[in-house]
Structure 1
Amino acid sequence: MKRLWLRISVSFSLLTLSLLIILWFIIASVSKTTYTDTIREHLVENAVLFSEMISTSNLLTQPDELDALLTRAEEDINMRITVISPEGSVIADSENNPGSMTDHIDRPEINEALEGADVAESIRNSETGGINMMYIAVPVYDADDNITGIVRTSYSLELISDTTQYLWQGLAAVLGIVLIISIIVAVFLARSITKPISEVVKATGELREKNYSHRIHGEYKGEMDTLAQSVNALAASLQTQLKIIRENEQQLNSILDNLVSGVMLVNAQGTVEMINPSMERFLSRHRDNILNKHFNEYGENIGLSALIHTVFEENEKVNAEITSYYPNEQKFDAHISPYYKDSWQQGGVIIVLHDITEIRHLEQIRSDFVANVSHELKTPVTSVKGFAETLLSDDVTDKDTERQFLQIILDESERLDRLIQDLLHLSKIEKNTLPLNIEQIEIRQFIKEIVQTLSTSVKKKNIQLTLPSTEKETFLEGDKDRLNQIIINLVSNAVNYSYDYGFVEIKVKAKNNNIYISVSDNGVGIPEESLSRIFERFYRVDKARSRHSGGTGLGLAIVKHLVESHHGRIKVESIENKGTTMTVILPRQMHP
């Protein structure tokens, strides 16, 4: 940009020079052609004139007078004149002695004139003078139109060349002056154009360096003034926008710094771009050890990496509970969602962690309380069950009545016993006191074997049960007993809440590093407002039906905890009176 005026000047000057050279060649060529044509016409005119004079005055018979006439004429018209007989001998010549001149019968212009051409022309080297000449020959006729002689006029081509050379030199001088003037004008115009452009470049350079207070000063005309005003307006707009962005950034930073929840932003390459102080505290690392590093470097310890990978792979929100054991045991409710850039391209993942350690502690206390109460209730329930069995003996008099009530006592005692067992089992799961016995399981055959235990319930309601195909093997790592409980609970619920002659379908699908086990039915379904609560303990959508089916209200809560103990998750999709689909998502391999 610093030499733009010079480049413009040189370009303009070279263009002008090229045009002037072309113009010079054109004018020179036209001038030479015009001058040559003029000489030719002059030669023809004089040749014809002398031919008529000789023919009229009968000068061919008077050689001396003819020779004197030619000599005088040459002084006036500055050209050589020669008169030649039909036989080719020179009768008279304005420059040389005819007697000393050779026969001209072999000259091309003489032969052409003798053959009857009105005007014959030839350009060649003169044998007499030794220079290039232009010859014009015109025949002389007598009264009977017989050729009695030839008048030849000639002119030196060197004189034509000298004349055109002087003309070219003069033309070159004029065009050189024009070129010099053009260069001066080009430099002036280039400087006048590039000066405001330099100001604009300087201003945009300041804007690039984020100096939005810089302005273009000076008065310009035309489009350059409009450009300068536009750049100034752009700088003012950028300055205003920068102020707004900085204010918004300060507000956002203040909000993030004061959030009790941890927030972290991971880009599409898996690199951490932003983190707030709460997240630093949760991860027990300084931001310098987290920012611009891959999330795998710190997320494996608390199970965060697997969730982030899931969001990247499935492009869906994930909500899960994770645990950190360093420096103290902490539990977090992790909400991980994808975020998008322009054109809906995935830009990365947003991670929000809520510290639920205290909440889980309170739940643990409540779980312990339920366990203690259950232990306290177990003995009287066992007693009631024993007395009921005794009263069912044959010693009772009013057998029908007593049997009816005693049967109720027995059923309720068994139900209370199941409730206590479920409470105890759930308490153990929540405390993580049940160790996982991990082994490799072929899940399709495993499901087929488990569902056989429910054949009675299925046949009783005439349910059409569809199992996954066992032709293809699908393996995962897990605890057989817990997986058994998960599948039994889900299939039992599907059967219990299906209409007679309904259908229940179990599917198994492998995707990426996860196994998807879904149980679908076309039963009563779940109302939309209850979907978020069905995994709560003792929550029943239809209390009467739950009691009638013998349920304790803890089945799905147990399933959820068992799935989570396998580092998996469970999803539910349901439409009331149309059916429900429960999907368990488990990793193929259990990571320690």
Structure 2
Amino acid sequence: MILALSVLITFLLVMNIIQYVSRKKINNHLHEISEKLAEIIEHKTAEKVLLQTDQHSIQFLLIQINRLLAYNQKVFADYASTKDSLRKMISNMSHDLKTPLTVILGYVEKLKLDDTLSEDEKEKAILRLHEKVVGLISLLNQFFDLVKIESDDYMIPLSKISLNEICRKNVLDYCDLLLSKGLQVEIDIPDRNFYILGNEHALNRILSNLISNSIRYGSDGGVFGLTLREDKGSIAVEIWDKGKGIAEVHQDRVFDRLYTLDDARNPQFQGSGLGLSISKRLTEAMNGSIHLRSKPFEKTAFICIFKQMIY
């Protein structure tokens, strides 16, 4: 009996010692974690809290803390990216609004102050003024369209649509412009209908944006092409040309809002930098994707890929 009691007392003492040592280890670990977190917060680094321990509770805590730190770093990076994108967007938007407004003001002042203008000169100035106002309204409409498309609650009605007819219609719409540019036109649209779950209005706008973009920037290659094909259970629409293309440094950003290449801001170009952004959002709204492949003066292609419907 005395031996059993002695063993029990010894066991309890050992357990108390173990618990004391364990609590001390935990407290030490918590102190180290606290200091490391304070350092990370103070210096705003992307470090993680690393600590060797055999305490399961501390291990679990470290995992959750590092997950939180990783999430916080992503939020910060996204915020910085959004802020930079917004700054550039406002800068580009200001440029695209200021230029036509300056021209409009110039024509208005000329009409108002110059009494020596002939009727023919006045008519030409009014026509030019009208063109600039229409262009400005178009730019504003595109901007508001993009804001609407990017809203969380934006949805478009989808139905079974033949891409073949949509492609033919859009090429015909640009036929006169293609011929006036002296471009060789290469169209490959199969007779067999390819169906997708899409929206006719959205598809027309996507193709119109891509075709006009190809004509505007790719005419120096002398060729315009549109190809419709099956692609591993999907349907691909490829609009291509052999023009100067898009340098690799720009390719990741061409779908950004209001992002244009430097020469797109020359007077001979009329790009707003919104067409490709709108095309991307509309394609994604139909559960599709859009891609760019470009090798200057070899082939520059925008490819829209949609899931094929087979009935």
What residue is the counterpart of 2:268 in the other structure?
Answer: 548
CA distance in 2, matches of 1:474, 1:360: 42
Q: Map of 1:422-461 to 2, 5 A cutoff?
A: 422-432=142-152, 434-461=154-181
Q: Deviation of residue 442 (structure 1)?
A: 0.9
The count of residues paired between Structure 1 and Structure 2 equals 235
Residue 304 (structure 2) pairs with residue 584 (structure 1): yes
Q: Deviation of residue 531 (structure 1)?
A: 0.9
Which sections of structure 1, spanning at least 5 residues, go unmatched? 1-245, 263-277, 279-353
What residue is the counterpart of 1:490 in the other structure?
Answer: 210
Residue 66 (structure 2) pairs with residue 258 (structure 1): yes
Q: Map of 1:219-298 to 2, 5 A cutoff?
A: 258-260=66-68
Residue type at the aligned position of 1:541: L
CA distance in 2, matches of 1:510, 1:521: 20
SS where residue 150 of structure 2 aligns? helix
1:496/1:450 CA distance change after superposition, 3 Å: same
SS where residue 450 of structure 1 aligns? helix
Q: Map of 1:534-545 to 2, 5 A cutoff?
A: 534-544=254-264
What residue is the counterpart of 1:412 in the other structure?
Answer: 132
What residue is the counterpart of 1:480 in the other structure?
Answer: 200
Residue type at the aligned position of 2:252: S
Q: Deviation of residue 489 (structure 1)?
A: 0.8
CA distance in 1, matches of 2:266, 2:236: 27
What residue is the counterpart of 1:515 in the other structure?
Answer: 235
SS where residue 540 of structure 1 aligns? coil
1:525 to 233, 245, 250: 245
Q: Deviation of residue 429 (structure 1)?
A: 0.5
1:10-47 alpha-carbon deviations (Å, 9 max, x no partner): xxxxxxxxxxxxxxxxxxxxxxxxxxxxxxxxxxxxxx
CA distance in 1, matches of 2:267, 2:296: 20
- Say whether the 8 Å CA contact 1:476–1:587 is kept in structure 2: yes
What residue is the counterpart of 1:571 in the other structure?
Answer: 291
CA distance in 2, matches of 1:512, 1:356: 38
1:556/1:472 CA distance change after superposition, 3 Å: same
Higher strand share: 1
Q: Map of 1:346-425 to 2, 5 A cutoff?
A: 359=79, 397-425=117-145
SS where residue 549 of structure 1 aligns? coil
1:358/1:496 CA distance change after superposition, 3 Å: closer
Residue type at the aligned position of 1:562: L
1:86-115 alpha-carbon deviations (Å, 9 max, x no partner): xxxxxxxxxxxxxxxxxxxxxxxxxxxxxx
CA distance in 1, matches of 2:253, 2:174: 26
Higher helix share: 2
- Say whether the 8 Å CA contact 1:447–1:487 is kept in structure 2: yes
Q: Deviation of residue 468 (structure 1)?
A: 2.7
Which sections of structure 2, spanning at least 5 residues, go unmatched? 1-51
Supply the RMSD in Å over aligned alpha carbons: 4.1
Q: Which is greater in Rg?
A: 1
Q: Map of 1:20-99 to 2, 5 A cutoff?
A: none
SS where residue 224 of structure 2 aligns? strand
Query: TM-score, normalization: structure 1?
Result: 0.35
Higher RCO (CA-CA < 8 Å; seq separation 6+): 2
Query: TM-score, normalization: structure 2?
Result: 0.62
1:350-394 alpha-carbon deviations (Å, 9 max, x no partner): xxxx6699749968xx69x98xx99xx9xxx8xx69x97xx69xx
CA distance in 1, matches of 2:135, 2:263: 15
1:538-575 alpha-carbon deviations (Å, 9 max, x no partner): 22214356642322121111111111112222111112
1:405-446 alpha-carbon deviations (Å, 9 max, x no partner): 444433322221111011011111011554312111110121
